[in-house]
Each structure stands twice: as C-alpha cells, then as structure tokens.
Copies of this chain bind each other. A is one copy, B any other.
Amino acid sequence: MRYLLVEDNQELAEAVLRRLAMDGHAVDHAASLEAAKDCLAAADYDLILLDVMLPDGDGREFLAQSRKRLDVPVIMLTARSQVSDRVGALDQGADDYITKPFDFSELEARCRAVLRRRGGSAKNEIALGPALFDPLSGTLRRGETKVDLRSRESRLLEVFALNPGQILSKGQLMDRLFTFDSAVTENAIEVYIGRLRKRIEGMGFQIETVRGLGYRIEAQSP
C-alpha cells in the first residue's frame, strides 16, 4: 500500500512514517499543501492522511477541492480541541477522522478499516487456532461462542495475531499499544496480558510467558 501523509509537525510525522513503514507500507511525506499537490501529481496513492492545520492552508479546503479529481480514501487528523473539525470532516469528503494525540495502533486500525470499506470486502479476520479474530470490531469467535474484547485488549491480541509464534517483549508491546509521549509502566502490559488471558479462555489458543523475554501466542497445547 502506498500512503501519503500530509502533516507539518516533523516529530509526529516521522513517528507515523516509521510505524507505517514497519507495517510494510510505502509512505510519502508532505509538510504542506503545496508539497502534497506535488506528491499527488507524481504518484497514485491508496490512502491519504491529512492534517487539518497546515502552514499554507486548511486541510479541509484542500480536501474539498481534491475530491472532484481524486477518488482516494482520506483520513483527517484533527486536534482534540477543534471539535468543529470533526463536524463536517466527514461531510467534506473524509472517510474517517482521528483526533490527536492518537495511538499508532488506532491509526493502523482506522487505515485498515477505511481501506477495507473502499476496496470491497476483503476479509479482515485473523485465524487464531480454531478461533477467528476480527480486530476491527474487536470480536473473537469460535463456533457458537463469541467474545467482545475491549479496545486495548483487542489491539494487544492483534499484535500477537500478526506475529504468530514470535516472542514479543513488553517493550515492543508497549510501543505498539501506546502513544510515544504517554509514559505507561511495563506493568500495564502484564495487567492486559492477564485480562486478555481471562477472555480468551476456551478459545483454543493461549498466550504463554517466556520469562525474561516476553510473551508469545500459541495454539492450545493439550
């Protein structure tokens, strides 16, 4: 997938770029509307991440104009205070919006959601042993049994599901679950592992601790 990120905050932009690159996407970065136009002229994108406040104009106007020519999904990045930003963002042609500060995992989830909506119904469920996990809705299903996960639990499980068999350290999990400026304890991961374990009981797979290294998902042993 090829993304275009339009964002003038350098620090934030780099963090987002890195993260999306880790997921295997090619991401171009434009720090202004001017630069964004150049990028759009030069390449085809699958998704645009568009900040509202930009040095040379308002992202919404840009969106309104581009919509006539483009048919690319757009996710708006808005500041929390700018409530009015949200209102109308969707009207203006955005496919979704996300308020800053956001978790990277949430951004990833929204990107997937939007792309899925657009690109037809590519199934987005992940098989976990005999169970099926839908990270978008946060539901886990095995036959008749269905479990709803909370947002954090869902993201956590998603990270495991995307790295089956691999050991993930608490540090890695933290970086995947939390914003870079939020200072949470590693203990939070332990707590969530515990909560998640309770929920996935009887689903045919389990999270196993690898002492000193991290955690790993595995199909039920016995």
Contact = CB atoms under 8 A, between A and B. Distances in A.
Query: Max chain B CB contacts within 10 Å: which of A90, A137, A138, A167?
Result: A90
A87 B151 contact: no
A137 to B, nearest CB: 5
A119 interface: no
- The complex is assembled from copies of this chain, and their number is 2
A213 B154 CA distance: 12
A97 interface: yes
A180 interface: yes
Contacts of A93: 14, 18
Interface residues of A, number: 35
Interface in A49-106: 64, 67, 83, 86-88, 90-93, 97
A30 to B, nearest CB: 15
A165 B165 CA distance: 31
A211 interface: yes
Given A137-B210, A167-B136, A181 B88 contact: yes
Contacts of A194: none
A183 interface: yes
Contacts of A148: 210
A18 B91 CA distance: 8
A142 interface: no
Contacts of A166: 137
A129 interface: no
B175 A91 contact: yes
25 contacts: A14-B64, A14-B67, A14-B93, A15-B91, A18-B67, A18-B91, A18-B93, A19-B91, A86-B171, A87-B180, A87-B183, A88-B180, A88-B181, A90-B171, A90-B172, A90-B175, A91-B175, A91-B180, A137-B166, A137-B210, A137-B213, A138-B210, A138-B213, A150-B211, A151-B211
Interface of A: 14-15, 18-19, 64, 67, 83, 86-88, 90-93, 97, 136-138, 148, 150-151, 165-167, 171-172, 175, 180-181, 183, 210-213, 216
